Homo-oligomer: A and B are copies of this chain.
Amino acid sequence: MGGDSAPAVVVAGVIQAIKRFPEVDFRLFGDETAIHSLLTDHTDLMGRIEVIHTDEKVAPDDKPSNALRRGTKTSMRMAINDVLDGNAHAVISGGNTGALMAISKFVLRTLPGVDRPAISAIMPSQTGPVVMLDMGANLECTAENLFQFAVMGAAFYRAALGGKQAKVGILNIGHEEAKGHAYLREAADMIRQSGIAAHYHGFVEGVDLSRGTVQVVVTDGFTGNVALKVAEGVAKFVSGELKRELKNGIISRIGAVLSLRALKRVRQRFNPSLYNGGMLVGLNGIVIKSHGSADAEGFANAIAVARGAVAGRINQQIIAELESFYRNSAPLLEHAAQ
């Protein structure tokens, strides 16, 4: 029931995904009547879709604490509980992000070795998709938080985006070692002592997000949230200006018609649906956030991300990576503390 056009977009996204992924079945939590009315033309799929009715839901503007207090009968809570109970491998929601994180943390708990779960997002870049985290769950972060984000982000990239190894960078205000906050250097030191050391690139700047210098960008939740929203705003602004100017004058308009295919390809390249499906990483279960304004294709892509995370056994990878780091570096960390 979450997102700007729920449940219509959710059901339409499920219908797309069910055809793409023959091995994936679905359990939909929410208003049974509304959901069934969207499925009337798809009775052939009903063997793979189960609808679990509830009247209650989390509101888009519920504070996380309020959402938790709504109890166990909201569609969001029931869907997350379904993962805890082992009925589902993953939960996907287009609803309130803060509530999704709070309820997931409460129900599923964090992974062993993880201090703070984080919200990751996928963004377009010149070299392909880039994962950035944290997007707002943790306003202030320690070096250790950032190190864990790096491990989780790299695992998410591998699992959800096709298995390739990601280069990892820490977002800073310059590439030079001496720049920025001291805790960024400490986080870099921890990464260099970990199993992902070979994939650590170094500090990156804001401009590297679009350049695709690295595939995983690690930052605190405040900076990450601002960076993502600045990027969304500028992409919309630039393409909007172009559209406006192309409509301006008959010659331009003829040109626009002729260049339509090119414009369409560019718009497609920046289509947020393609980059939908951020994972709430660090939880003891797969929780995927679909953008509230995602269309059916976008929701299906968030389902694809969930499928990749499950198939790629992302959480087992994160646990193994962190276990090995803390086993090997425990003497070092103790030494440093003395």
Contacts and interface: CB of A to CB of B under 8 A. Distances in A.
Given A206-B233, A231-B234, A254 B258 contact: yes
B230 A227 contact: yes
Contact of A173 (B180, B226, B236): B226
A323 interface: no
A241 B269 contact: yes
Contacts of A269: 241
A83 B147 CA distance: 46
A260 B252 CA distance: 7
A228 B252 CA distance: 31
Interface stretch (A12-20, A154-162, A191-199, A217-225): A217-225
Contacts of A270: 238, 241
A222 to B, nearest CB: 6
A272 interface: no
Interface string A176-214: 001011000000000000000000000001111111000
Contacts of A236: 207, 210
| Most chain B beta-carbon contacts within 10 A, residue among A234, A246, A266 | A234
A46 interface: no
B226 A171 contact: yes
A35 B274 CA distance: 52
Given A237-B126, A238-B270, A262 B258 contact: no
A83 to B, nearest CB: 27
B229 A206 contact: yes
Q: How large is the interface on A (under 10, 10 to 19, 20 to 34, 35 or more residues)?
A: 35 or more
A265 B181 CA distance: 40
A249 interface: yes
A249 B232 CA distance: 28
A126 B252 CA distance: 21
Nearest to A171: B226
A208 B234 CA distance: 10
A225 B173 contact: yes
Contact of A206 (B126, B207, B230): B230
A227 B222 CA distance: 11
Interface string A126-143: 100000000010011000
25 contacts: A63-B178, A125-B237, A136-B173, A180-B222, A205-B226, A205-B229, A206-B227, A206-B229, A206-B233, A209-B230, A209-B234, A210-B230, A223-B223, A230-B234, A231-B234, A234-B234, A234-B235, A238-B238, A238-B270, A242-B262, A246-B259, A251-B261, A255-B256, A256-B258, A256-B262
Given A242-B263, A246-B262, A249-B261, 4 more contacts: A136-B173, A206-B231, A209-B230, A242-B266
